[in-house]
């Protein structure tokens, strides 16, 4: 069947020859079964076809429209009177329809489950017994298709010989007439493949947990790059045979869980958390809600997800795209790093200012800064670069680091060293500078020079605080344009305060010589050199 996505246009071919599906009884019956035994809604919006509900069911509605069969028309002829909904144990669903005086059951589901409940098969328009040879042949075809990455569904039907109220619930899906298989493929998106690669580099293990056939899951897993030779694949049945302790021992080696039920998903999440992993779990159906709720981070699908699962989740993916999760992780890492830079810079500045004031007091010097000058520093010299650091574009390779330990906060040992060392250096340099200018030119001149020195010192330090591990050259001096602009703005504002009469009165400053201004530049540059030297030392 030709066509792409949910666009209901395409042709049917058999051995390279175009055919009319309505002229092939079994094919026509299979398509009608897929359309009737279906709860999805296929609709078009601005020329784009989309599915409300299960996408696999949406594909079956698309198949029907390609064959000229719409559910609206079909359900006028086959009136639905009952439904046996899908559940994870039976792995199939059935709907009951009335056509004139005849009551029919239409079923679809996992191949092995439908075969178990089928006693007959329709071949060339004739109903025959479904013997073991035919069952084996069907299962072999299923395995072959699944191995190529196809999602395979089986279809069956039967006519009820008794009125529906007289049929026991379990008997509705017994002695079915097997119709055939439908194979569909939903190839991984390119961005999903790239997202899995990013996860591996970032130290994030991606595990596929699916209700699909084991071979289908393995094929898709290989395409995505999350499954390789030597990895384990467990089915729901194999999970049932393992104790929690046995699963605990081998779960690190498992890349794929196939044919699993919601209870299996919940068990997997519990074991992974017990192992010490931070677990994010995706889900869309109502039955996924417990495992999504149990995970450290529950992620639900915004398009196909149920309201129950969305309520249970922490994050709702509006585009149902795995790559969006990875993008969110990257944004989260960036936000955390920027908070760290912001705090590292501000505390380092404040520690330095406090130590400078304390040192001057202990040495019987006048206060190096007045209250208005401290306020000016907090608003411009501290504030503008700090805001720029909070919006830093980030270092290269932020997704090539392992996840930080859950117990690690903002104040790592390196952050503490940078805060204390930067603050101490400010006081060590600032105190003698202030004392020197007090003796040479008086208190107001000395305070103006300290204001200028601190401005330069903190501007250089802002560049040093862009990374906890990389030097300012490695990060890129000009890669944060907002920081460059804020630094230049802070310097210009300080010069205005020093040389404009109105601001001189407001902030108790006096004009200083150009030589003294320039002299402060290499001294202030030591703040950048010292912190970058520490980073290089940590790397050796």
Q: CA 128, 131, 133 angle in degrees (round to 5)?
A: 120
Stretch(es) of the chain classified as CATH 3.40.1110.10? 12-184
How far are the Cα atoms of 80, 159, 176, 347, 508 from residue 83, in angstroms, in the given order? 8, 15, 16, 65, 84
Domain over 12-184 is classified CATH 3.90.180.10: no
Per-residue pLDDT, 441: 94
> In this structure, what is the dihedral angle of CA atoms 357, 359, 363, 367, given to the nearest 10 degrees?
-10
CATH architecture of the domain formed by 190-325: 3-Layer(aba) Sandwich (3.40)
Tokens of 145: 């298709």
Class of domain 333-539: mainly alpha
Per-residue pLDDT, 211: 86
Tokens of 90: 């039976």
How far are the Cα atoms of 221, 358, 461, 481 from residue 423, in angstroms, in the given order? 52, 12, 10, 26
**Spans of the chain below 50 pLDDT:** none
Per-residue pLDDT, 182: 96
Q: What is the DSSP string of 133-152?
A: HHHHHHHHHHHHHHHTT-EE
Stretch(es) of the chain classified as CATH 1.20.1110.10? 333-539
User: Could you give the 3-state DSSP secondary structure of residue 106?
Assistant: strand
Radius of gyration of the chain (CA): 35
Span 241-256, pLDDT tens digits: 999 999 999 999 999 9
Query: How far is Cα 468 from Cα 134, in angstroms, rounded to an integer?
Result: 66
Span 269-309, pLDDT tens digits: 999 999 999 999 999 888 889 999 999 999 999 887 888 99
Q: Are strands 102-109 and 151-159 parallel, antiparallel or unpaired?
A: antiparallel
């Amino acid at each position: 069947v030709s066509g792409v996505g949910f666009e209901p246009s395409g042709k049917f071919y058999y051995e390279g020859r175009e055919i009319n599906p309505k002229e092939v009884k079994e094919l026509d019956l299979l398509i009608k079964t897929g359309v009737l035994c279906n709860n999805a809604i296929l609709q078009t919006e601005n020329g784009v076809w989309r599915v409300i509900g299960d996408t696999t069911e949406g594909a079956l509605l698309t198949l029907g429209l390609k064959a000229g069969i719409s559910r609206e028309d079909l359900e006028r002829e086959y009136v639905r009177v009952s439904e046996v909904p899908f559940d994870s144990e039976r792995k199939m669903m059935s709907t009951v329809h009335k056509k004139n005086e005849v009551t029919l059951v239409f079923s679809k589901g996992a191949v092995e489950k439908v075969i178990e409940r089928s006693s007959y098969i329709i071949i060339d328009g004739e109903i025959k017994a479904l013997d073991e040879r035919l069952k084996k042949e069907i299962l072999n075809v299923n395995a072959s298709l699944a191995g190529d990455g196809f999602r395979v569904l089986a279809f069956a039907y039967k006519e009820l010989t008794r009125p529906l109220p007289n049929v026991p619930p379990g008997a509705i899906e017994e002695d079915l007439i097997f119709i055939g298989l439908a194979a569909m493929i939903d190839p991984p998106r390119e961005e999903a493949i790239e997202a899995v690669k990013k996860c591996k580099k970032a130290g994030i293990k991606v595990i596929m947990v699916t209700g699909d056939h084991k071979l289908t899951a393995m094929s898709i897993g290989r395409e995505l790059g999350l499954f390789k030779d030597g990895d384990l694949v467990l089915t729901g049945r194999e999970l049932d045979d393992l104790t929690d302790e046995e699963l605990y021992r081998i779960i690190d080696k498992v890349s794929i869980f196939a044919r699993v039920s919601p209870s299996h998903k919940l068990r997997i999440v519990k074991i992974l958390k017990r192992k010490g992993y931070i677990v994010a779990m995706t889900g869309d159906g109502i039955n996924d809600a417990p495992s999504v709720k149990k995970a450290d981070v529950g992620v639900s699908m915004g398009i196909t997800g149920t309201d129950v699962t969305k309520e249970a989740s922490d994050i709702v993916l509006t585009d149902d795209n795995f790559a969006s999760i990875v993008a969110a992780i990257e944004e989260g890492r960036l936000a955390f790093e920027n908070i760290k830079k912001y705090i590292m810079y501000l505390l380092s500045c404040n520690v330095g200012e406090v130590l400078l004031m304390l040192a001057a007091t202990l040495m019987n010097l006048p206060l190096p800064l007045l209250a208005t000058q401290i306020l000016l520093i907090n608003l411009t010299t501290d504030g503008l670069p700090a805001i720029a650091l909070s919006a830093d574009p980030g270092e290269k390779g932020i997704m090539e680091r392992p996840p930080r330990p859950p117990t690690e906060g903002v104040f790592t040992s390196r952050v503490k060293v940078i805060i204390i060392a930067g603050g101490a250096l400010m006081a060590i340099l600032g105190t003698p500078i202030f004392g020197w200018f007090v003796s040479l030119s008086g208190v107001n001149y000395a305070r103006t020079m300290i204001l200028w020195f601190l401005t330069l010192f903190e501007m250089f330090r802002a560049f040093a605080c862009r990374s906890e591990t990389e030097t300012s050259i490695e990060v890129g001096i000009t890669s944060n344009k907002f920081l460059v602009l804020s630094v230049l703005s802070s310097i210009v504002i300080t010069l205005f305060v020093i040389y404009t009469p109105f601001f001189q009165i407001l902030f108790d400053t006096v004009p200083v010589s150009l030589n003294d201004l320039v002299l402060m530049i290499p001294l202030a540059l030591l703040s950048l050199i010292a912190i970058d030297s520490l980073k290089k030392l940590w790397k050796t």
